[in-house]
Amino acid sequence: MNSKAAPDQTSPPLIAEPTSPTRQAWLMFRGNLSAMAGLVILLLILFVAILGPSLYPVSPTEMVWMPLTPPGASEYWLGTDYIGRDILAGLINGGRVTIAIGLAAASITFVIGVTIGALAGFYGGWVDNLLMRVTEFFQVLPNLLFAMIVVMLFSASLTNVAIAIGIVSWTATARLTRAEFMRIREMEYVKAERAIGARNRRLIWSVILPNAAPPLVVVSALSTGSAILFEAGLSFLGLSDPNAMSWGRMIGDNRPYILDSWWGVTFPGVAIFLTVLAICLVGDGLNDAFNPKLRQR
């Protein structure tokens, strides 16, 4: 007796749930080995800068040993500078100051650049022409010289140093923001918001800016690295707060003794190099992660 064929019991194929853009960006970033290496280095530097002074409670400004003691010749692992200050304590405490100035200056750069670029790109016309002429004026100025003048005029405090770096570094952010706003303002969802009566303030800050954010996040990360280099240059020239230890100040103070004590310049220089390199690697990783064309490969 022939038996009937058993009905097919196979289940229908599973349909993968759509992945959110944020998760896609994170997966793309996590797959970038250089970006992850930069993130690990950056987190280690931040950990040392934040918790280091409590784990290694040595003053970076007091004489603790004989001057120009080389690394490994005393209980102070990285040696001492020309007046006997601990190099390791200077690196730990100086990292906090250097990174704080870099973040503050990058925030000022972001606020000024995004504000000017958003207004120019959204309104166009005479507003765009006026704001772009102002941008071009700041763009042709020698940034380091202009920052030096600002610091010399308003005293060399940490706040003034951050402001000086911020007001000379915003032009690239403004131009990128303007380009993104000019592109996005013509899209259908922006026109739909305008058709239902959305005000210009809402269109700029709640509709267009969130969609223009990915490239702005990338340029902000890179601006932090540039600000750290700027602060190091100003401190190297003696245009920083003399009461605050920073990596640039360490290089500037020990520069005359570089032939006798290489460690006083080399270690803070390596710290600046690693920090800026890590920020650049993270910025490149964010650029790849937020690029939809790369995510579709």
pLDDT tens, residue by residue, 136-162: 999 888 888 888 888 888 888 889 999
**Portion of the chain with pLDDT greater than 90, in percent:** 42
Q: Please name the fold of domain 23-295.
A: MetI-like fold (1.10.3720)
Distances (CA, A) of 252 to 102, 103, 114, 236: 18, 22, 34, 4
Taking the CA atoms of the chain, what radius of gyration do you get in angstroms? 26
Predicted local distance difference test score (pLDDT) of residue 288 = 82
Residues in Cβ contact with 154 at an 8 Å cutoff, skipping those fewer than 6 apart: 160, 164
Average pLDDT over residues 49-66: 90
Higher pLDDT, 132 or 142: 132
Average pLDDT over residues 80-105: 92
pLDDT at residue 197 above 90?
A: no
Q: Is 85 helix (H, G, I), strand (E, B) or coil?
A: strand
Predicted local distance difference test score (pLDDT) of residue 170 = 93
pLDDT at residue 84 above 60?
A: yes
Structure tokens at 187: 């899209």
Higher pLDDT, 289 or 247: 247
Q: Which of 138, 143, 212, 152 is nearest to 176 (CA)?
A: 212
pLDDT tens, residue by residue, 156-183: 888 999 999 999 999 999 999 999 999 9
pLDDT tens, residue by residue, 97-123: 999 999 999 999 999 999 999 999 999
Instruction: Report H helices in the chain.
Output: 21-30, 33-55, 87-123, 125-140, 143-153, 158-167, 171-184, 188-195, 200-202, 209-236, 247-254, 263-289, 292-295
Average pLDDT over residues 221-250: 86
pLDDT at residue 284 above 90?
A: no
pLDDT tens, residue by residue, 2-20: 545 454 555 555 444 456 7
Q: What's the mean pLDDT when you consider all of the chain? A: 86
The least confident of 20-34, 212-226, 270-284 is: 20-34
Predicted local distance difference test score (pLDDT) of residue 1 = 46
